[in-house]
């Protein structure tokens, strides 16, 4: 504590906060809150429950964003007072408390600073995450299940609601594929840096000879469609198949053909849903995800056209974006950002914020480099 220059540290906190406040455009944020509050107070608001839900959810998010900014400003002010009192009274306990609060505020500012980098067209959206086992047989299926648990634990740590929409179990262990929603503002912008090919290296628990096995899993992240998005899909472009949903190891968990598979014929995009009880609910959920995928596909095509006009800009993610090595040493390393962690258990338990933050900064740097 004696080595901490609190005056310099607090000045640095204020400078970081001021830059975040400018990027956040507090005046515009207050105007949005006032407008949304007025719409939320209209007597016929709930005549359209879906639209009402969108308005109240957006209002709640904007209010939370402003409250978060105001609370951080107050914490910096309170820290300054605490330091002055501790120094005046030579109170070691107060200075210890100030040191802990300094680190806590730094962390909160870092998290908020990363959010300000999420400025993509769909970054504010909720996310649909799909995980698919790749090469590696049963180890790949097990790895896919490990990744799904990792992301669900990450969401749980942050208090983000999730809904598992579809799970296709492998015969021996693990998952062939799984799809789930993360229902939080900026979930897409945050998790989209996790999209790509993940690689696991370990002694296979499924190999009788205890050999080291390399396996792969693919992660896809798309923004959740909103009713205001203009994605119309003609009925004659969709093939609908119904089937009976099943559980792990091929067990039957449903006695009716309630699961639904939608195929978009022009693009070959396939979406299946089986976690709702009725065929109607599964079809509606599948259609929403199909629309989301086609929306993103449309944007990617538009971006490709823009890149072609601007010239070849190389900022690709590569075939493998992260390696999880459990043998002969333990290390999780992101191959884009070079960020690495030795505590593999913590990572698989959802402690991936530092990887996500590094990924968002890496992506922002690449976008800025492409523009210059």
Closest CA to 282 of 312, 297, 262: 262
Note the pTM of the prediction, 2 decimals.
0.71
Q: Which two tokens stand for residue 117?
A: 């980098």
Mention every residue, 6+ apart, whose C-beta is less than 8 A from residue 35. Answer: none
User: What is the distance of C-alpha 156 from the center of its chain?
Assistant: 12
Mean pLDDT of 294-314: 58
Q: What percent of the chain has pLDDT over 90?
A: 46
Q: What is the pLDDT of residue 131?
A: 93
pLDDT per position as a tens digit, 70-118 = 999 999 999 999 999 999 998 999 999 999 999 999 988 988 888 888 8
CA distance 165 to 289: 10
Q: Return left, alpha or beta for 98; rule: phi > 0 is left, psi -120 to 50 is alpha, else beta.
A: alpha
pLDDT per position as a tens digit, 190-232 = 999 999 999 999 999 998 888 899 999 999 998 887 655 657 7
Mean pLDDT of 179-194: 91
Beta strand pairing status for 322-325 and 196-203? parallel
């Amino acid at each position: 504590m004696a080595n901490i220059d609190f005056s310099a540290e607090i000045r640095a906190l204020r400078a970081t906060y001021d830059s975040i406040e400018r990027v956040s455009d507090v005046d515009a944020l207050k105007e949005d809150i006032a407008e949304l509050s007025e719409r939320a107070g209209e007597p016929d608001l709930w005549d359209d429950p879906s639209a009402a839900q969108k308005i109240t959810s957006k209002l709640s998010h904007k209010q939370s964003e402003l409250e978060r900014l105001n609370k951080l400003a107050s914490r910096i002010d309170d820290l300054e007072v605490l330091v002055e009192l501790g120094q005046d009274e030579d109170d070691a306990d107060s200075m210890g408390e100030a040191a802990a609060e300094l680190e806590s505020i730094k962390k909160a500012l870092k998290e908020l600073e990363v959010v300000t980098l999420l400025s993509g067209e769909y970054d504010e959206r909720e996310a649909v995450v799909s995980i698919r086992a790749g090469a590696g047989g049963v180890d790949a299926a097990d790895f896919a299940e490990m990744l799904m648990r990792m992301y669900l634990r990450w969401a749980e740590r942050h208090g983000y609601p999730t809904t598992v929409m579809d799970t296709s179990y492998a015969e021996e262990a693990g998952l062939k594929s799984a799809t789930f929603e993360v229902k939080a503002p900026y979930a897409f912008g945050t998790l989209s840096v996790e999209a790509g090919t993940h690689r696991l290296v370990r002694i296979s628990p499924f190999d009788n000879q205890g050999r080291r096995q390399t396996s792969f899993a693919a992660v896809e992240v798309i923004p959740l469609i909103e009713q205001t998005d203009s994605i119309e899909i003609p009925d004659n472009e969709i093939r609908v198949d119904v089937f009976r949903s099943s559980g792990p190891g091929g067990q039957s968990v449903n006695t009716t053909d309630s699961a639904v598979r939608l195929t978009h014929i022009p693009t070959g995009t396939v979406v299946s849903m089986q976690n709702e009880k009725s065929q109607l609910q599964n079809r509606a959920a599948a259609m929403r995800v199909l629309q989301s995928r086609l929306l993103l596909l449309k944007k990617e095509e538009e971006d490709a056209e823009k890149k072609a006009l601007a010239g070849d800009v190389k900022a690709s993610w590569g075939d493998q974006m992260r390696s999880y090595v459990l043998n002969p040493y333990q290390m999780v390393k992101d191959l884009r950002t070079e960020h690495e962690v030795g505590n593999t258990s913590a990572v698989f338990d959802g402690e991936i914020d530092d990887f996500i933050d590094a990924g968002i900064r890496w992506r922002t740097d690449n976008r800025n480099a492409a523009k210059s």
